């Protein structure tokens, strides 16, 4: 079997996959179960119902070599409640982060940086503020790093949503 | 029509043409059992363990191709069933399992006998359902039968809470399934088929590698036709035994870990491996990177996930095997096919040089002997099931199989305890015919579902169990001998029941034999009396299954039988 080895030893790639599934109970666990049972990786997973339809869309970010990604796509397709699987090639990706800081920080600085990452201050109370930012994943990671110096009290990320260009 | 959920279950099974269900009652499924009591659409067979219900349903399905049905209660009933379900999943056997569940109001409270059944069955079913509303019940059962038997077949599980079976609703059984998300690919791609046929016409040493899919898609005879028209040799996996027919001059044996020399060498030397519903199991391929290493691969399978899972397919074809093989046969005339007779001749030489054999003796019965003997006596008339172990491999090697569905074994999961309940299911399917169902089993395996002797005798299912008693968990003992310097950790089974008395205690015929003559007499008696029977055969203790490809070696590195030829 000629090209066998190259196929196995190919490099690890990051793949964004979107899956359209019937919006019924048990489906999320089927998808997650598929990944865990076969030892595949989920880097990020988001789900929401689709407009005016009995379906939901899941966006999954995973990593693996070509063989693994092929299998993931095929296995997803094989699940009975799955309508469609898209292996995205060229997508716009968005990731959202919410960060909470003590009110004692320099709020003007925080506001300026957040805005550089398509973000803003979302909420202010007596003792804390919450900032959001929405951007590509790598930029969000960068944002979190930058904001570390303000000693965040809490950080929550959304996972990725993606759309083919 | 308005009726209870329980009655809907019965009516749905009737609509599906079910003629027998294997089951075991309990609290959560009692509403359904009350309706089973009142109906006379189908026979209910009360097994004595839920694992056996499911395996019996498998035996029925494997021997007939129809969908088997098992009904069990919640909690422990269902968890007992799970080994059978996993077994069916691994071998893609169409069965529908209906389980009772605690009432919807109790789900999630750790109620008595509550278990997350759909959570447990998810990884080992093709699909599963928890019925939440009585309106969904008929549709779900319709879908369950459809899913179980189409595409790549498999077990489908329907879990029904007790309050749903008690509720009254309108029974409207759908005439068609409407599942927009389920569309198995039946039809091969024409271009891919054409390329594959071109590859065949240009090959020098092509080989048909026939797997269990050939039986699932009912195309054994078409494959024989294909082989004959192309003059291509064929080998079979464990699951495909019987497809080619052992008398077929183009058949070169079973391949794999305990495969025949000619079959394994054929796989090693072929330049075009044509995989027909086989899945490149590690027990078949040996070292994967050495498997068919000189060959391009045509890979035909209904399940796209099977293709390129383990090996790269140069010519992948997704589709129903039967339709694809039929199309290949029709397409032959459009190609100038090479003459493969030299290749066939070479394999014949291999087969003559190293045939399957064992060293027979007259004092101690060698375990292979009764298998060959039953083959000689019953031939086509036999349906053979096995348990798991050495006896299973010897049966695959030495029984002269002549047709598909004659051979019932647990391949993917390798479930000890499979043989007797599977044989019972087959015996039910062929009740009243002249078929004789024989279960070859080991002294270890038989004790895992021995209680099913009771089911056999109650329902007059004349399964003949042949216990090849080597006083060992033989297959594990063989590995310990070969790979663990003979440290026989917990495989010695000298402590044993009196099998003859055990059989008689279950109201079956019991025999203990230690000579060939005694065996012949006992077997003849059991066949003539048409009663469930257990024949304990005292066999040579230390016999090995050979040839053997040691784990992690390639197929041409076989350990062969040494000694007189
Ligand atoms: C349920 C289960 N448990 C354990 C095993 C592992 N196993 C495989 S073969 C075997 C020995 C079988 O012994 P026996 O039934 O006496 O058959 P023999 O090999 O002696 O013919 C064991 C323990 C298994 N396949 N299934």
A vs B, Cβ pairs < 8 A, gives: 55
Which chain B residue lies closest to A76 (C-alpha atoms)? B305
B180 has a chain A CB within 8 A of its CB: yes
Residue B217 CA to residue B101 CA, distance in Å, equals 34
Q: Is A58:A112 a contact under the CB 8 Å cutoff?
A: no
Chain A residues touching residue B314 (CB < 8 angstroms): 1-2
pLDDT of residue A10: 76
Q: Is B151:B284 a contact under the CB 8 Å cutoff?
A: no
Ligand 1 pocket, mutate which of B49, B83, B388 (most atoms under 8 A from CB): B388
Chain B residues touching residue A5 (CB < 8 angstroms): 289
Which chain A residue lies closest to B121 (C-alpha atoms)? A30
Minimal C-alpha gap between A144 and chain B (Å): 37
The rounded percent of chain B whose pLDDT value lies above 90 is: 95
**Averaged confidence pLDDT in chain A:** 91
Is pLDDT at B555 greater than 80 in this prediction? Answer: yes
Instruction: Enumerate the H helices of B449-529 as residue ranges.
Output: 452-458, 474-483, 499-505, 516-529
Per-residue pLDDT tens for B461-475?
999 999 999 999 999
B112 is catalytic: yes
Distance (Å) from CA B477 to ligand 1 centroid: 10
B309 is catalytic: no
pLDDT of residue A7: 56
Per-residue pLDDT tens for B377-403?
999 999 999 999 999 999 999 999 999
Task: Specify the long-range contacts of residues A29-37, CB closer than 8 Å, at least 24 apart.
Answer: A29/B119, A29/B122, A30/A79, A30/A81, A30/B122, A31/A58, A31/A60, A31/A76, A31/A79, A33/B122, A33/B123, A34/A72, A34/A75, A34/A76, A34/A79, A35/A62, A35/A72, A37/B123
Q: With a CB-CB cutoff of 8 Å, which residues 111-170 of chain B face chain A?
A: 118-119, 122-123, 126-128, 130, 132, 147
Choice among B254, B475, B534, B558 that is catalytic: B475
Full strand arrangement of the beta sheet holding B272-276:
B251-254, B234-236, B206-210, B272-276, B296-301, B315-318
Chain A residues touching residue B295 (CB < 8 angstroms): 1
pLDDT category of residue B408 using cuts at 50, 70 and 90: very high
State the pairing for strand pair A154-164/B68-72: unpaired
Compare CB distances from B312 to A3, A30, A37 and report the shortest one's residue: A3
Is pLDDT at B565 greater than 70 in this prediction? Answer: no
Instruction: Enumerate the H helices of B407-451 as residue ranges.
Output: 419-429
Chain A residues touching residue B179 (CB < 8 angstroms): 80
pLDDT category of residue B46 using cuts at 50, 70 and 90: very high
Is pLDDT at B441 greater than 60 in this prediction? Answer: yes
Enter the ipTM: 0.85
Atom of ligand 1 nearest to the CA of B470: 20
CB contact under 8 A, A80 and B295: no
The mean pLDDT value for B6-30 works out to 98
Q: CA nearest B440: which of B461, B422, B458, B460?
A: B422
Residue A122 CA to residue A128 CA, distance in Å, equals 11
**pTM across the whole model:** 0.94
Minimal C-alpha gap between A51 and chain B (Å): 18
pLDDT of residue B312: 86
Per-residue pLDDT tens for B55-68?
999 999 999 999 99
Q: Reduced to 3 states, what is the DSSP secondary structure of residue B178?
A: coil
Per-residue pLDDT tens for B210-226?
999 999 999 999 999 99
With b meaning 16 or more CB within 10 Å and e meaning fewer, what string describes B29-42?
A: bbbbbebbeeeeeb
Q: Is B478:B544 a contact under the CB 8 Å cutoff?
A: yes
CB contact under 8 A, A2 and B311: no
pLDDT of residue B564: 47
Per-residue pLDDT tens for B413-428?
999 999 999 999 999 9
pLDDT category of residue B364 using cuts at 50, 70 and 90: very high
Atom of ligand 1 nearest to the CA of B415: 26
Choice among B66, B142, B162, B500 that is catalytic: B162
In this structure, chain A runs to a length of: 165
**Averaged confidence pLDDT in chain B:** 96
Atom of ligand 1 nearest to the CA of B478: 19
Chain B residues touching residue A10 (CB < 8 angstroms): none
**Backbone angles phi and psi of B183, in degrees to 5:** -140, 80
B50 is catalytic: yes
pLDDT category of residue B188 using cuts at 50, 70 and 90: very high
- The tens place of each residue's pLDDT in chain A, 165 residues long, gives 444 555 556 789 999 999 999 998 889 999 999 999 889 989 999 999 998 899 999 999 999 998 889 999 999 999 999 999 999 999 999 999 999 999 999 999 999 999 999 999 999 999 999 999 999 999 999 999 999 999 999 999 999 999 999
B506 is catalytic: no
Pocket of ligand 1 (CB under 6 A): B 387-391, 414-417, 442-445, 468, 470, 472-476
Compare CB distances from B123 to A3, A21, A33 and report the shortest one's residue: A33
Q: Judging by beta carbons within 10 Å of its beta carbon (0-12, 13-18, 19+), is residue B111 exposed, middle or buried?
A: middle
The DSSP bridge partners found for residue B365 are B539
| Residue B43 neighbours by CB distance under 10 Å | 14
Distance (Å) from CA B475 to ligand 1 centroid: 6
Residue A53 CA to residue A72 CA, distance in Å, equals 25
Which chain A residue lies closest to B292 (C-alpha atoms)? A1
CB contact under 8 A, B119 and A75: no
Query: Alpha carbon of B75 to those of A14, B53, B107, B120, B158: distances in Å?
Result: 42, 15, 12, 11, 14
B182 has a chain A CB within 8 A of its CB: yes
CB contact under 8 A, B304 and A7: no
Would you list which residues of chain A are within 8 Å, Cβ to Cβ, of chain B?
A: 1-5, 7, 21-22, 25-26, 29-30, 33, 37, 67, 70-71, 74-75, 77-78, 80-83
Residue B417 CA to residue B442 CA, distance in Å, equals 10
Residue nearest to atom 4 of ligand 1 (CA): B416
Does the CA dihedral B547-B551-B556-B559 come out positive or negative? negative
Chain B residues touching residue A30 (CB < 8 angstroms): 122
Q: What is the DSSP string of B381-402?
A: GEEEEE-SSHHHHHHHHHS---
pLDDT of residue A9: 62
Q: CA nearest B251: which of B378, B352, B357, B347?
A: B347
Full strand arrangement of the beta sheet holding A154-164:
A119-124, A128-135, A91-102, A154-164
Which of B29-38, B106-115, B161-170, B444-453 is the least confident region?
Answer: B106-115
B145 is catalytic: no
pLDDT of residue B563: 59
């Amino acid at each position: 079997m000629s090209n066998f080895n190259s196929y196995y030893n190919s490099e690890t790639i990051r793949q964004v996959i979107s899956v359209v599934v019937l919006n019924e109970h048990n489906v999320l666990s089927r998808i997650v179960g598929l990944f865990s049972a076969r030892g595949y990786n989920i880097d990020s997973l988001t789900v929401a119902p689709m407009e005016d339809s009995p379906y939901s869309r899941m966006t999954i970010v995973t990593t693996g070599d070509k063989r693994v990604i092929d299998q993931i796509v095929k296995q997803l397709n094989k699940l009975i409640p799955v309508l469609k699987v898209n292996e995205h090639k060229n997508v716009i990706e968005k990731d959202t982060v919410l960060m909470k800081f003590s009110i004692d920080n320099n709020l003007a600085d925080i506001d300026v940086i957040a805005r550089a990452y398509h973000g803003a201050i979302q909420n202010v109370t007596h003792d804390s503020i919450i900032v959001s930012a929405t951007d590509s994943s790598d930029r969000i990671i960068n944002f979190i790093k930058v904001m570390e110096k303000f000693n965040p009290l809490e950080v929550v990320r959304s996972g990725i949503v993606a759309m083919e260009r | 029509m308005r009726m209870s959920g329980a009655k809907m279950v019965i009516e749905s099974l009737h609509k599906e043409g079910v003629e027998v269900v294997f089951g075991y009652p309990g609290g959560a499924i009692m509403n359904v059992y009350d309706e089973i009591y009142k109906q006379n659409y189908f026979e209910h067979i009360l097994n004595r363990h839920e694992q056996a219900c499911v395996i019996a349903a498998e035996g029925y399905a494997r021997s007939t191709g129809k969908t088997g049905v098992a009904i069990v209660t919640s909690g422990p009933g269902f968890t007992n069933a799970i080994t059978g379900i996993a077994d069916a999943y691994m071998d893609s056997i169409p069965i529908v399992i209906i389980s009772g569940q605690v009432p919807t109001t109790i789900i999630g409270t750790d109620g008595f006998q509550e278990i997350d059944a759909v959570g447990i069955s998810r990884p080992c079913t093709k699909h599963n359902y928890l019925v939440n509303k009585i309106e969904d019940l008929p549709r779900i059962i319709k879908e369950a039968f459809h899913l179980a038997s189409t595409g790549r077949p498999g077990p489908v599980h329907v879990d029904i809470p007790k309050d749903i079976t008690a509720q009254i609703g309108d029974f409207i059984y759908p005439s068609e399934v409407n599942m927009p998300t389920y569309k198995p690919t039946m039809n091969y791609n024409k271009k891919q088929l054409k390329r594959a046929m071109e590859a065949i016409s240009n090959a020098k040493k092509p080989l048909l590698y026939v797997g269990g899919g050939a039986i699932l898609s009912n195309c054994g005879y078409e494959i024989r036709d294909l082989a004959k028209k192309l003059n291509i040799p064929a080998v079979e996996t464990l699951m495909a035994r019987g497809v080619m027919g052992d008398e077929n001059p183009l058949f070169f044996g079973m391949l794999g870990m305990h495969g025949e020399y000619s079959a394994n060498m054929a796989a090693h030397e072929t330049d075009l491996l044509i995989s027909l519903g086989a899945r490149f199991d590690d027990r078949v391929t040996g070292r994967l990177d050495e498997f068919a290493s000189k060959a391009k691969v045509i890979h035909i399978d209904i399940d796209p996930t099977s293709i390129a899972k383990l090996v790269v397919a140069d010519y992948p074809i997704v589709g129903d095997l039967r339709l694809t093989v039929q199309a290949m046969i029709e397409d032959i005339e459009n190609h100038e096919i090479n003459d493969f007779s030299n290749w066939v001749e070479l394999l014949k030489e291999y087969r003559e040089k190293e045939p399957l054999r064992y060293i027979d003796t007259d004092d101690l019965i060698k375990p292979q002997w009764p298998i060959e003997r039953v083959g000689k006596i019953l031939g086509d008339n036999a349906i053979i099931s096995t348990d798991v172990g050495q006896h299973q491999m010897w049966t695959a090697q030495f029984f002269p199989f002549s047709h598909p569905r004659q051979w019932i074994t647990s391949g993917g999961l390798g479930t000890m305890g499979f043989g007797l309940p599977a044989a019972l299911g087959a015996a039910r399917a062929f009740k009243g015919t002249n078929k004789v169902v024989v279960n070859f089993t080991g002294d270890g395996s038989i004790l895992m579902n021995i209680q099913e002797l009771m089911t056999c005798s109650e329902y007059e299912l004349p399964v003949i169990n042949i216990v090849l008693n080597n006083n060992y968990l033989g297959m594990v003992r063989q590995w310990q001998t070969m790979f663990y310097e003979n440290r026989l950790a917990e495989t010695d089974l000298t402590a044993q029941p009196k099998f003859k008395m055990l059989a008689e205690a279950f109201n079956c015929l019991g025999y203990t034999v230690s000579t060939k003559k005694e065996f012949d007499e006992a077997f003849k008696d059991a066949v003539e009396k048409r009663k469930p029977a257990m024949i304990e055969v005292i066999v040579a203790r230390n016999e090995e299954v050979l040839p053997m490809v040691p784990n992690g070696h390639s197929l041409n590195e076989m350990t062969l039988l040494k000694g007189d030829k």
